[in-house]
Structure 1
């Protein structure tokens, strides 16, 4: 029988499976912590119990726990075990943690927290975009706006709407804002879909987006900021309604 040196593809396959397993365990345990199944300060079950629960090896379990440690959710102490850290230590701006949290948090509460974040960032981003956009970034924004105008159903609208808001962040030409857009992309798409379905028609907010777009095109920074703030007020009304 050949070993992994003779058949290197077997080692590759095993590594892929191991990564999938530890990712699944990290997701399940992380979601349980974020959901409140394990309160801050609580000690997680013993390794042996977790290995049995998830039907994984000690190696896989420890890799999953290392992942959760790196995200601020847990910490390991000698003779104590693995404990859940305080909520203040959780890295909710980690893409995985934010995605897990969006799945288990009360929907309205999470939507409002995401909305607060958008209200703090996007109006000023629109103002920056009006003054800083270059030909390439404005072309991306224009393409997104055209896609919104041409959208024939909710799915097409949501994809275009998401592209529009990410394009505004990119048009600021501030490299620190682009990762922020990528970070909230998955959770923002869900919010945009809910808002589109709650409106009288899926593209009811098109005129409000057009005001933002036109102001950025004219390099009218103040109007761009005000238009984005007005658009987000409408979004909040739909969330709360």
Structure 2
């Protein structure tokens, strides 16, 4: 039976980047598209988004799906309803910049240098400190998890999903070894940053050097309970990662001569 309405819906959704065989998934795709547009400054803080009806018509999806997408963005602090005005884009300071979805949307297009610097400054603050604690508090189980991740990274490389997951697992095991629940709560954000930056580098052929030796140095320092060495090696690892990502000779405010030669 011919269904022109359904075909039109599929055609419009595909045109605008919303395509799913399951209608319930469309609100997730719409939230992603709107989130990327907000991050890309199509709408600025203080701007009012198109009405629910207009968005539904533009993307040929149901109004309940639009409402669910808006709720998703509101939960991440990116928009808020304004009585008698509509849905307003909030100030960036209110956005949950560590939300894994928001991080993913940031890397959907070429990330700007400020974003990259901010994320890696966060990693430079958190991960070396976590490595220092891990050297003091790690258990055999933590060491085994890190060692297994390193073996997989070396065998599979970061060009495979298995290798990419092993990199995430290494950092997760290290954060767990720090023995701090509050630091551990940031593991999803750290893991998302690691995964997204790696995937971006692979997609743009800027993967850079073999990451295993730098990770191995961190592991060996933790194995030997050398807290200061673990701190330094993790700092070195993060600095190499940001240097490769930006594909530049130096990043001045993230650089010292002894860390990045």
What is the TM-score normalised by the length of structure 1? 0.81
Q: Which whole-Å deviations, capped at 9, do the CAs of 1:212-231 have from their partners, x for residues lacking one?
A: 11110011111111121122
| 1:70 paired residue number | 75
- Given candidates 174, 178, 194, the residue that maps to 2:180 is 174
Q: What SS does the aligned partner of 2:108 have?
A: helix
- Does residue 125 (structure 1) correspond to residue 125 (structure 2)? The answer is no
CA positional deviation for 1:94: 1.8
| 2:11 paired residue number | none
CA positional deviation for 1:123: 0.6
Q: What SS does the aligned partner of 1:154 have?
A: coil
Greater mean deviation of Cα atoms: 189-198 or 56-65: 189-198
RMSD: 2.5
CA positional deviation for 1:147: 2.4
8 Å contact 2:157–2:164 — kept in the other structure?
no
Greater mean deviation of Cα atoms: 49-58 or 18-27: 18-27
8 Å contact 1:169–1:178 — kept in the other structure?
yes
- Does residue 39 (structure 1) correspond to residue 31 (structure 2)? The answer is no
CA positional deviation for 1:121: 0.8
Distance 2:115 2:65 in 1: 31
Structure 2 matches for 1:1-241, cutoff 5 A?
17-104=22-109, 106-151=111-156, 154-155=159-160, 157-192=163-198, 194=201, 198=206, 202-203=209-210, 205-240=211-246, 241=248
What is the TM-score normalised by the length of structure 2? 0.76
Give aligned pairs, total: 224
8 Å contact 1:112–1:239 — kept in the other structure?
no
Unpaired segments ≥5 residues, structure 1: 1-15
Unpaired segments ≥5 residues, structure 2: 1-20, 249-261
Distance 1:100 1:43 in 2: 20
